[in-house]
């Protein structure tokens, strides 16, 4: 018995459909990889800077000027600097996701540098 023309055509369409779906999956995975490849949950170096926020890059154990003079702000910034592994699991509720904040630590620390310096953002002090 020979194959009918209709069955062969249906198989070709099915194969094309599966290749198209596989292509979409690969493209989607690539897009996710590109989006996340420059963003480490602890360093956060790929976030945008928020308009109106101030930034200070300081050495270890130093606090930014916008956090000093207020005991609660000092405590919050000290904790954020010392415990990024904890704050990365606490969601932020102030609506700052539109500037790239992923968790509560992003409201205090803009970037952690390899030499131990930290770039603080005033976002958490406001």
Same domain (yes/no): 28, 71:
no
Segment 75-82 shows an average pLDDT of 96
Same domain (yes/no): 62, 103:
yes
Same domain (yes/no): 22, 59:
no
Q: Give the domain range for residue 93.
A: 55-125
Same domain (yes/no): 71, 23:
no
| pLDDT level of residue 46 (50, 70, 90 thresholds) | very low
Using one digit for the tens of pLDDT, what is the confidence trace for 6-25?
666 777 777 787 666 766 67
Using one digit for the tens of pLDDT, what is the confidence trace for 96-111?
777 778 899 999 999 9
Same domain (yes/no): 121, 62:
yes
Same domain (yes/no): 59, 119:
yes
pLDDT at 44: 44
Same domain (yes/no): 15, 70:
no
pTM to 2 decimal places? 0.60
| pLDDT level of residue 34 (50, 70, 90 thresholds) | very low
Burial of 84 (0-12, 13-18, 19+ CB in 10 A): buried
The more confidently predicted of residues 4 and 55 is 55
* Residue 78: inside a domain: yes
């Amino acid at each position: 018995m020979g194959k009918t023309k209709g069955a062969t055509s249906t198989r070709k369409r099915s194969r094309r459909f599966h290749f198209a779906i596989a292509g979409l999956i690969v493209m989607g995975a690539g897009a996710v990889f590109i989006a996340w490849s420059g963003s480490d949950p602890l360093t956060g170096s790929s976030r945008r800077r928020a308009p109106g926020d101030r930034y200070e890059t300081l050495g270890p154990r130093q606090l930014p000027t916008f956090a000093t003079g207020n005991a609660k702000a000092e405590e919050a910034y000290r904790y954020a600097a010392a415990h990024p592994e904890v704050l990365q699991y606490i969601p932020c509720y102030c609506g700052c996701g539109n500037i790239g904040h992923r968790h509560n630590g992003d409201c205090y620390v803009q970037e952690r540098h390899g030499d131990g310096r930290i770039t603080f953002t005033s976002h958490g002090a406001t």
